[in-house]
Structure 1
């Protein structure tokens, strides 16, 4: 078979027990929204609040260590779970199992009171949520035709503005009742997993491939990076995510220590306002970018321009460290990141080396999502403490996104 033929997944087929493509996309939207609600609501609000309540003097350093170490677990578990999902030919057991395990991890996190145990709990949640994420991510290349990947990726990409907004709004309401907040987010992702597994049956199970020596398995696991287009898509995604999370991961502390908020406004309240602004802009650009990239059959220009814009808007809070400046920054950053993630996801599904190993290769790509999050907390913490504030952090994040914009240029297999 040619590489082009391998990149073509089996065309989706529906039976009386399977959802239509429209129904499938709705289920994927719910599944991704719940996942992003956990990542944003817990990771951006409850976790920083929890750490600040334990050790306010060292909150920046502790958050950096907890975020960095937990992202190692995310990076490892996502591709491993993807490869195991490919091997078993099943997605639903991994979706449901990952969600229920995350519920248990969040329940544990809500009952600990030391920085060490908070770190352990968040590592457990990151690991189990990435089992869930790996299986959910693989459904698009499994079932969606190539011609509709941009639209599907756009709809799935709405999970970030919808789930992110919901997560931050709920998190800001639960900042004084952390135990209930953690349980609420666990219930949300478990409910979404139940919907997905009940209404979206697994495709007919493939016979598992014969077991290969461990060295061969490792080489096969990383083989996608030997493909030129996939490698450049990986690099661009990694740089963009690193630039984004270097800043967004510290937004609660930025609002507390750097931005001049209106009198009487708490940082968590400010986040509850800024996040819907960013996410609404993200939702618009996600849909518009995904649909137009399908209609015009052009992907690279959307990805490159949105990454460049994400880099440039990091200068806004540097020039204007005010509430108005943060509102402008949030709107423009949402526009840029939403378009990038929607169309870049379509690019990746179009340059996958093999349809048979879609979950494994998407898991490798998800290293570009989780891996930079290992580095981001350490980088952000070092920049803030060594260079004396958050202005250098915005500049570093902007530079990383601008470099990421250049990585799309060498990709040849997508216009």
Structure 2
């Protein structure tokens, strides 16, 4: 692995990375995602059920909302700090290490807590620090990987996220009564693989020159991209936001759609929900790296992302007119499997190509994370209005078509992206 100097970071073309580096990078992303995805999906809810059985639904809603807000803010903020870091150990490795230590502390607080406020503190720590590690790790693609490989390497983050939950469930099955094991073992896996990545990423370099003090302007700048200065990047953010809206509708209302629209019997609901999550997850795991590889081969990301928008819209239309489980599954697979897989396999390389300031890669990718994540937080506030359209029973048809329309509209901002293909 060739060395680079701090004077040339972001200005020279990185040499190709080998299979060993790619494998370790993928494993590190897998471990880091599993450390947070498993508690976000399963373990946190189980722990809240133990601590606050009577108020678990309210407590879980609070924890989920606060956790999402923490993640949305922490990713670009810590990315900004990473971009500015002048440590002799580089600017990414220190934050991967800090992030994993903080994640471990947060997991321990959750596992040992005996009250909801203490659990919430642990969850905030986990969400904040795991996003520090995620921001720094994603930026390695911009720092170390040449453009011809950025699609396939960048896509591994999405594939790793999809795989982490499927494999992480085995920790739940192996230790059904031990919350410490359920939450601690995924973190232990993340620590091992993150340490391996830190060890092989020896040419991590510090920020190029002394930067202004980190004041209020720098802090708020962590969350904002100027459309005037970064027009291509701003149009890409809008596209990702709109495409993610369809994903957000499906992810938020799958259970209610199955209950109230498809009318799945209560006794079959658990199996159907598992099917609806696992099948698209496997498809996304396959489609993401494939989309990344195709983008690398073509040297173009825009057509792939436009295809993701259209496929997502078509999938939402299929869901809207579904009356049985097989048809519903086809629609969900198009949205959260194919469309989401293409988007997750494309957005990192496309984002790097669209950003003007490559030296702020971690911050910029963190802002992309806001664009992708924000619809999941906003949909629950918009949905009640759409569900009341026409009066009578909940109008899921209007909600789903609205999400599909937003997804298709996500292709339009790509027309404004001029200098990235």
Residue 194 (structure 2) aligns with: 193
Cα contact 1:46–1:175 (8 A) shared by 2: no
Whether the 8 Å CA contact 1:260–1:323 is kept in 2: the answer is no
TM-score, structure 1 length as denominator?
0.82
Q: Which runs of 5+ in 2 are unaligned?
A: 1-7
1:71 counterpart (68, 71, 75): 68
Q: Look up the SS of the partner of 1:407 in the other structure.
A: helix
The gaps in structure 1 that reach 5 residues or longer are 1-5, 15-19
Name the residue aligned to 2:148: 147
Aligned to 1:160: 161
Q: Counterparts of 1:294-313 in structure 2 under 5 Å?
A: 294-313=296-315
Matched, 1:405 2:400: no
**Distance of 1:131 and 1:388 partners within structure 2:** 40
Query: Helix, strand or coil for the counterpart of 1:210?
Result: coil
Displacement of 1:337 after TM fit? 0.6
Contact kept, 8 Å, 2:75 with 2:131, in 1: the verdict is yes
Contact 1:286 1:342 in 2 (8 A): yes
Counterpart CA distance in 1 for 2:180 and 2:386 is 32
Tell me if 1:233 matches 2:236. Answer: yes
- CA contact 1:171–1:181 (8 Å) conserved in 2: yes
1:311, 1:402 within 8 Å by CA — same for their partners in 2? yes
The CA RMSD measured in Å over matched residues stands at 3.5
Q: In structure 2, what is the Cα distance between the partners aligned to 1:206 and 1:213?
A: 14
Aligned: 1:288 with 2:279: no
Q: 1:375 aligns with which of 375, 378, 381?
A: 378
Shift of 1:236: 1.5
Alignment partner, residue 43 of structure 1: 40
Once the two structures are TM-superposed, the CA of residue 228 in structure 1 deviates from its matched residue by 0.5
Deviations 1:207-236 (A, max 9, x none): 552334725525764355431000011112
Q: Give the match for residue 128 of structure 2.
A: 127
Q: Distance in 2 between matches of 1:51 and 1:250?
A: 22
What is the correspondence of 1:14-413 to structure 2 with a 5 Å cutoff? Answer: 20-50=17-47, 54=52, 59=57, 63-88=60-85, 89-112=90-113, 116-168=117-169, 170-171=171-172, 177-206=178-207, 208-212=209-213, 214-218=215-219, 221=222, 222-223=224-225, 225=227, 226-249=229-252, 251=254, 260-261=263-264, 264-265=267-268, 267=270, 270-320=272-322, 322-333=324-335, 334-379=337-382, 388=394, 393-413=399-419
Q: 1:315 to 1:63 in 2, by over 3 A?
A: farther
How far residue 87 of structure 1 moved from its aligned partner, in angstroms, is 1.4
Count residues with an aligned counterpart.
403
The offset of 1:85, in angstroms, is 1.1
Instruction: Give, in whole Å, the separation in 2 of the partners of 1:58 and 1:167.
Output: 23
- Contact preservation (8 Å) 1:169, 1:272: no
Q: Confirm or deny: 8 A CA contact 2:292 2:346 kept in the other structure.
A: yes
Q: CA 1:327 to 1:371, structure 2 compared with 1: closer, same or farther past 3 Å? A: closer
TM-score by length of 2: 0.81
